[in-house]
Amino acid sequence: MKRCPVCRARVKDNSICRRCGSDLIDLLVLENQAEYMLVRAVQCLQKGDITLSLRYSDHANTLQRTEFGELFSAFLRSPLSR
């Protein structure tokens, strides 16, 4: 997370926004879980398990939409991944 979703202040390593005081820990946990799911998705693709890779990638996208996650899921659904 680069910016506080409440006040748009830059977020660094703090779980509390320095400007507005919002507690961002739950959002940071979701962001970390999404990143973990995408790593698992890539690992599954490396092992040739496209079905499980897509499951992890879609799960990551439900937690946090990123351009990479969207493109990765689209790739896994395309004939290029088969």
The contact set with Zn ion (CB under 5 A) reads 4, 6-7, 9, 17, 19-20, 22
State the nearest-atom distance from the C-beta of 4 to Zn ion, in Å.
3
Looking at the Cβ atoms of 4 and 54, the one nearer to Zn ion is 4
C-beta closer to Zn ion: residue 9 or 39:
9
Find the helix packing angle between 25-46 and 67-77, rounded to 10°.
30
We find the least distance from the C-beta atom of residue 18 to Zn ion, in angstroms, to be 8
What residues contact 41, with CB distance under 8 A and at least 6 apart?
Answer: 53, 54, 56, 57, 60, 72, 76
Closest distance to Zn ion from the beta carbon of 10 (Å): 9
